[in-house]
Amino acid sequence: MLKVEIRTGKENMDIGTIYQFLSGESYWAKGISLAFVTSSMNNSYCVGAFHEGRQIGFGRVITDYYTFAWYADFFVLPEFHGQGVAKQILSHIAQQPWSQRLRRTMLGTRDAHSLYRQFDFKELKVPANIMEISRPDIYR
């Protein structure tokens, strides 16, 4: 497991790295503007993983800190995959007192189900109860 430093707060994030990954490499936010990335971080609990001073992982939680949270924009730079970085980010969030009292925590992922299952995420019990408005190409 690669030892990383976990930092929180937008002011401690490398917004350039986050923007570059989300806009250019992610499957969910390709083409997003720097202004949107910056604004989305304003109202989120931001968590970054840093190795030797470089940001190598990120995630944000959109939450009211009491009843609900949505995990968004989680990533680890490809060259650091498989080294426990994501687990350290998720463990940090799970250890927060506010995280432990939430009634519902949700996320959307296309490819990291086995990772999130380790943190007790499961498929929806009643998918028909959840509705959405989806605009997957809104940033292009």
Residue 69 in any domain: the answer is yes
Residue 25 to residue 9: CA distance in whole angstroms: 23
Residue 50: pLDDT band with limits 50, 70, 90:
very high
The least confident of 76-80, 83-87, 110-114, 136-140 is 136-140
| Under 8 Å between Cβ of 67 and 104 | yes
Total domains, the chain: 1
pTM (2 decimals)?
A: 0.94
Residue 107 dihedral angles phi and psi, to the nearest 5°: -160, 170
Q: Which domain holds residue 11?
A: 5-129
103-135 pLDDT tens trace: 999 999 999 999 999 999 999 999 999 999 999
108 in any annotated domain: yes
For residues 32 and 15, give the distance between their C-alpha atoms in angstroms, rounded to a whole number: 13
What is the predicted pLDDT for the residue at 77? 98
Q: What is the mean pLDDT of the chain?
A: 96
CATH number of the domain bearing residue 107: 3.40.630.30
